[in-house]
Amino acid sequence: VWQIDAHREAFLYGGNGGDKAHETAERCPDFKEDCEDERVSDTLISCYNCRYRRWTQASFDCMKGKNG
Amino acid sequence: MRVLICIDDTDNLESIGTGEVLENLCAALYENGLGRGGFVTRHQLYLHEDIPYTSHNSAMCCEAEIEGLEKALHFCRAYMDASCAEGSDPGLCVVDLEKLESHEKLILFGVSAKNTVLKKKDAINTAELHQGAVYLSEHGGTGDGVIGALAGCGLRLSGSDGKVKGKLHPPETGAVMTVDELCLHCLLRDATDVNHQPVDPTDSVLFSVPTKAVFWQNKPTVYLTKDESGRAKWRVFGIQELKGLVD
């Protein structure tokens, strides 16, 4: 699900990984809903709706534990 | 007098979002008899690794009717100083719409902030072209939020960018109504198809999932698409579908 290097943890499926984003968020103890206006998935428990994701041009990075 | 108020980079990963900060600021302006803010629009800016945004790089803007510029400006600045999150780089932009002679350069700045890495100096230089009409201020950290704050004003001035803050909910699951009834229920002035073509106000619409209004031609507008289920002529877009259509 993730491409991990020393500085980044990037979601591999970009904007087309709804199921993976949901499954990952369901298993994640740190999932935290972002404010309503920044949620983009109709499935509430999804990395796409998580406060700790940082959008990039191609996908998003998980920022939990990076500077959060 | 009418002004635009736009803020950016007020949050960190644990704080309330920038949109909520702006709504709270407007509520405080009202409670203090200084003015009344209208609906808030969210404007997506460039996603680029060289830009130090928290998570989505968006600016939040609203139009407000204020009693006096100096008092309101002082209040907004003090509110920003007191309310922004630790580690954020907040910026505030207030545009006096009655003094602003030309919209063009602000709109260009806003549009360029959607696809270019801009510097704080670019924002300051653009604001200085509109002295007496554009008031840009930093409120902590690097102050880089002035870039998004100015860009958000430009994009709001363009009349057609971004989404309106807040979700629109159907009155009941699977509700079918006319376009007119949809607009009335959501307090909207317009609903169009995604190509911005008008639809017949008496046409039926399936409103089964929450949606958001987009900011189009200076109006909160709901996008409709053909309903394939046969229950209505049109249906509203879900929020997830909208992400592919509007920033």
* B49 and chain A in contact, CB less than 8 A: yes
pTM: 0.94
**Chain A residues touching chain B at CB-CB below 8 Å:** 15, 18, 34-42, 51-57, 63, 67-68
Q: Please check whether residue B19 touches A, CB under 8 A.
A: yes
Q: Considering chain B, what is the average pLDDT of its residues?
A: 95
pLDDT at A4 over 90: no
Q: Determine contact, residues B158/B104, Cβ cutoff 8 Å.
A: no
Q: How high is the mean pLDDT of chain A?
A: 90
Which amino acid is it at A8?
R
Q: Do B42 and A37 touch (CB under 8 A)?
A: yes
Q: How many CA atoms lie within 13 A of B234 on its CB side?
A: 23
pLDDT one-digit tens code per residue, B75-108: 999 999 999 999 999 999 999 999 999 999 999 9
pLDDT digits (tens, 9 = 90+) for B3-29: 999 999 999 888 999 999 999 999 999
Mean pLDDT of B208-233: 95
- Cβ contact B61:B6 at 8 Å: yes
CA distance B227 to B208: 11
Confidence band (pLDDT; 50, 70, 90) for A68?
very low
B90 touches chain A (CB under 8 A): no
Tell me whether residues A35 and B58 touch, CB distance under 8 A: no
Are the C-beta atoms of A59 and A10 separated by less than 8 Å?
Answer: yes
pLDDT of residue A67: 54
Q: Are the Cβ atoms of B12 and A52 closer than 8 angstroms? A: no
B57 at interface of A, judged by CB pairs closer than 8 A: yes
Q: Is B245 on the interface with A (CB under 8 A)?
A: no
Q: What share of chain B is helix, strand, coil (3-state, %, to 5)?
A: 30, 30, 45
Mean pLDDT within A8-17: 89
Q: Give residue A10's pLDDT band: very low, low, confident or very high (50, 70, 90).
A: very high
Q: At B238, list the tokens.
A: 């879900």
Mean pLDDT of B118-125: 98
- In B140-218, where do the E strands start and end? 163-164, 175-178, 190-193, 204-207, 214-216
Q: What is the mean pLDDT of residues B202-210?
A: 95
pLDDT in tens, B160-179: 999 999 999 999 988 999 99
- Choose, out of B13, B22, B23, B61, the residue to mutate when testing the contact with A (most A CBs < 10 Å): B13
Report yes or no: B47 at the A interface, CB cutoff 8 Å: yes
Cα B216 → chain centroid: 11
The alpha carbons of chain B give a radius of gyration, in whole angstroms, of 19
CB-based contact B55 A63, cutoff 8 Å: yes
